[in-house]
Structure 1
């Protein structure tokens, strides 16, 4: 999300300054099928899950999800800004243990761990290192013990790194719709995009969830009552949208809306609240007409919009939808089957300086690579061969 050096095009709208760094509001990742666009988002989702879902005992494996049974360590490095402070977090691990874990902020090493050797550790945790399991992230342990920098990093992973997926859209952001003023703006936003929704209703639902430790205790007990089980309470928000029809109106539960409507409503919550989150959407164009996708992109890059977006897409027309060179990225597999990411800004092409430059045309000409190589002759031979076999 860093801007290209000395690139001033669309600076006031498509970029934002934070901690004296100019950053992009959005990037779009293009590329052929099976070249790794989705894996970029899956990898960040995996890192988020590692951070916020701790192992419960030493026998539990850490999720590696390596390709082709690769036995090498998995490694993540991520830099982000939270509470006006930059954090750099490194995690290297395998299924059995954390190999290296390091957190740095403002040039200060908060903790540095090499397996079970805690090279640098916050003062308040020094007496507790024996309690850190080999398959447990120190980041989670530190925030659990109230270390302030670890708490800020953990909070960013939980609340600010958002993977927009209709399978997991169940967010307390919906409670904002209980505010009538915000709800009015929300409805105008939907109606302006030609969604036939005239009202929304939010209902709170209290969920009683058994605490795992007490549930295990009860399962190992001969008692058939649940009197000893301890519960925690969680509030969920159910949303019902009212649609206008020729013969009146009808209500639809959020989960029964189309994929495009769900994602659009979800995006509207964050965009209208200017929440300064990082939102990732796989196949951004999948559920939208091109005109709506282009309109959303203009809003995403608007000067008044403060979230960041990482979008993957196959819609090549978006290449020429008011983007800077450093906002256009491509995913392509090398000869070893590894996905590589590069942007148009990486190309030394004098023609890029023209204001009327057509990125889509150059991409289709194969200038940037990352294209789908289709052998039409072989496809046809396979089709004809199949028909001949059926005839016999």
Structure 2
């Protein structure tokens, strides 16, 4: 579970920004929405919403966490040895030449860990991993430049892996690739995190979504797969979610298609490794029709992409980050997705959702009792220098009965655009 994320000098996040998923004391300690994991003396939030004007930096918060994940997963194997790092610093000041910091506090297998690193354009400058078993801090390793120090509790081939760690790769990344048993759970937390960030202009599933969907449905293509039963259960859960969303979808299937030997063109966006996805719909006169995925609406495809991640996360736990949750989704459908994370029966492993949105319905009670607690609402706002500031609604100490939607739209909490005249008429250009 994610406890806290800290970042500095990533895109518009010029100064240090901290996002906390620790529940605030709001006088409702028995709120069933809260996560109460063993090994942590504090309750955690299952969902957090980021609000703010366009270009205020909401997406950059998710992007920074996604960048950290990619560095952990890929730096040892995929970053070129002499190419430095793919740093993305704040470009509007002298921070463009400064290093960037990324740090998470996470709960893995009931133990709290704090992992982070500092990188420049040339190399990894610092890296550290601390833990708190039984509530007492232990240093597992610390790195500064080329100097490494390993704590006595980190057992494994530390020195050998240190020799394999390049200046522009993370020790954690190298350790996981070399099967360091003690560090694999930390690496696994990053690998399990899922990100649905800005989509390309082409409508369709992202590669990661299609891979998940293909794995989920591939039991239909083999009668001898040992994982058939588990995958069929996942597929049934996916179909149930699609039916409950009232999209007119009754079922889903995957088929193989052999391309003609003379065909040498690019594969369809919806056809990975010769697989095609079809959704079954109710038609006139009681008939049913299977439609290929490319004929579905943007909303159906958006939900299907998120649903492929949801089914796994709600069963096994993990973090899902979604940019613009409301994109192509009806407000009531977005509300239902949040409620999946808020219901302990449906979210027994404590999966978490971090998302950006402009949907103010989630702030009010038009659709019933407010779905979000006051500590689940965060804002981003840019200053005159173009730097993003991240802060929680609780900084304003709103009353429990306060109309949050109205207050936000009125600018009471900041994080709204200051609009000038968007269109000028002749003679008004100046």
Unaligned runs of 5+ residues in structure 1 are 206-233
CA contact (8 A) 1:170 1:237 kept: no
Cα RMSD, aligned residues only: 2.9
More strand by share: 1
What is the CA-CA distance between 1:253 and the residue it aligns to?
4.2
Q: Are 2:129 and 1:103 aligned?
A: yes
- Find the partner of 1:64 among 67, 87, 92: 87
What is the CA-CA distance between 1:138 and the residue it aligns to?
0.8
Distance 1:310 1:96 in 2: 31
The C-alpha deviation readout for 1:188-225, integer Å capped at 9, x for no partner, is 321221112122113589xxxxxxxxxxxxxxxxxxxx
> Paired residue for 1:353?
400
> Paired residue for 1:193?
245
Q: Are 2:311 and 1:260 aligned?
A: no
Change (3 A) 1:259 1:128: same
Distance 1:186 1:198 in 2: 11
3-state DSSP of counterpart to 1:183: helix
Unaligned runs of 5+ residues in structure 2 are 1-19, 198-204, 220-230, 258-271, 365-369
> Paired residue for 1:143?
176
CA contact (8 A) 1:98 1:134 kept: yes
3-state DSSP of counterpart to 1:346: helix
1:313-328 to 2 correspondence within 5 Å?
Answer: 313-320=357-364, 321-328=370-377
Change (3 A) 1:125 1:173: farther
- Find the partner of 1:156 among 171, 176, 189: 189
Distance 2:318 2:396 in 1: 30
Runs of 4+, deviation exceeding 6 Å: 234-237
Q: For this pair of structures, how many residues does the alignment match?
A: 353
CA contact (8 A) 1:204 1:237 kept: yes
- Find the partner of 2:277 among 227, 239, 245: 239
TM-score after normalising by structure 2: 0.74
> Paired residue for 1:170?
210
Q: Are 2:298 and 1:251 aligned?
A: no
3-state DSSP of counterpart to 1:384: coil
Change (3 A) 1:15 1:238: farther
Distance 1:348 1:185 in 2: 40
1:208-227 to 2 correspondence within 5 Å?
Answer: none
Change (3 A) 1:182 1:155: closer
Distance 2:307 2:251 in 1: 14
* Larger displacement relative to structure 2 (167-176 or 303-312): 167-176
Q: Are 2:113 and 1:87 aligned?
A: yes
Distance 1:65 1:360 in 2: 34
What is the CA-CA distance between 1:42 and the residue it aligns to?
1.1
3-state DSSP of counterpart to 2:101: strand
CA contact (8 A) 1:186 1:269 kept: yes
